[in-house]
Amino acid sequence: MAKTFAFVFPGQGSQSVGMLDAWGEHPAVRETLAEASEALGEDLGALIHDGPKEALALTTNTQPVMLVAGVAAWRAWRAEGGPLPAAVAGHSLGEYSALVASGVLTLAQAAPLVRLRAAAMQEAVPVGAGAMAAILGLPADKVLEGCRQAQESFGAGSPEVAEAVNFNDPAQTVIAGTKAGVDRACEVLKGLGAKRALPLPVSAPFHSSLMRPAAEKLRAALAATPLAAPAIPVLNNVDVAVRQDADAIRDALYRQAFGPVRWVECVQALKTDFGVTHLVECGPGKVLAGMTRRIDPELVGASLYDPATLAETKELLA
């Protein structure tokens, strides 16, 4: 009996030089690279294949290449006769890959949008002024409390910010804000019992309220972008909801830029609302598959990022 499954798409952090090499000359992957490269006016295939790592790590490059890698794996899956999932979702930036998979956006629309999103995020906060950190071994409610205490410690009217922005699994929450705000929150959270507070090597405090200026630029671009009705339900991560209406989808993407990624709730909703038993991470890396198991051990997490894992996923879901 075929399994009920969802496809989930990874975001920033899973990129690596040569991450599409294993696909070889797969037509679906080649066409995806060509389409996105044309939309952006540059050779994304060369950037992914050659790097260097530092170039791939630039937010303005990371976001388009992760979009392309997720869509390439999705198109290869469909080209090889892979069945449609019950629903799709994406972690942060991965939501754009999910919207392309569902037919809401074309890749030619999504690539420039994602690049604009990345550039606007980078411009919103000067490099070094913002920070992010992963808080390990502390429940989310304690992380929220620690961030509140850290912000209060600066006094009323302070520009310092510390916010919980990625609820990744029951024992891992990412915080973001100003450098001083995040540093203070890390101290407070260790005092509340966090096992570790790991600074993340990122160039901007993603999903924090400091990203509002970026979101406004994105909103203007989204307003000018025609959206199609979703062919597959897309569960967004700002509301943990499925939206059909184009304006509601645009609004969710706008708010996602400065709102937290509610990934734990997304995974739980895929199980309860869609009856999903398997989550397939579509794109480079195995980050989301690992989170899946930590969120709900009953769910099976799989990864699809090359021809071998595509074949394994087909077998798993048969």
Residues tagged active-site? 92, 207
Residues 231, 103: contact at Cβ < 8 Å?
yes
Class of residue 307 by CB neighbours under 10 A (exposed 0-12, middle 13-18, buried 19+): middle
The distance from CA 207 to its chain's CA centroid, rounded to whole angstroms, is 11
CB atoms within 10 A of CB 24: 10
Residues 218, 151: contact at Cβ < 8 Å?
no
CB atoms within 10 A of CB 272: 10
DSSP-derived secondary structure for 169-196: ETTEEEEEEEHHHHHHHHHHHHHTT-SE
By residue count, the chain amounts to: 318
CA distances from 260 to 144, 173, 271 (A): 12, 10, 21
| Element holding 161 (H helix, E strand) | none
Where do we find the tokens 């989930």?
8
Strand pairing category for 172-178 and 162-169: antiparallel
| Element holding 131 (H helix, E strand) | strand 130-136
Spatial strand order in the sheet of 130-136: 162-169, 172-178, 130-136, 196-199
Strand pairing category for 5-9 and 300-304: unpaired
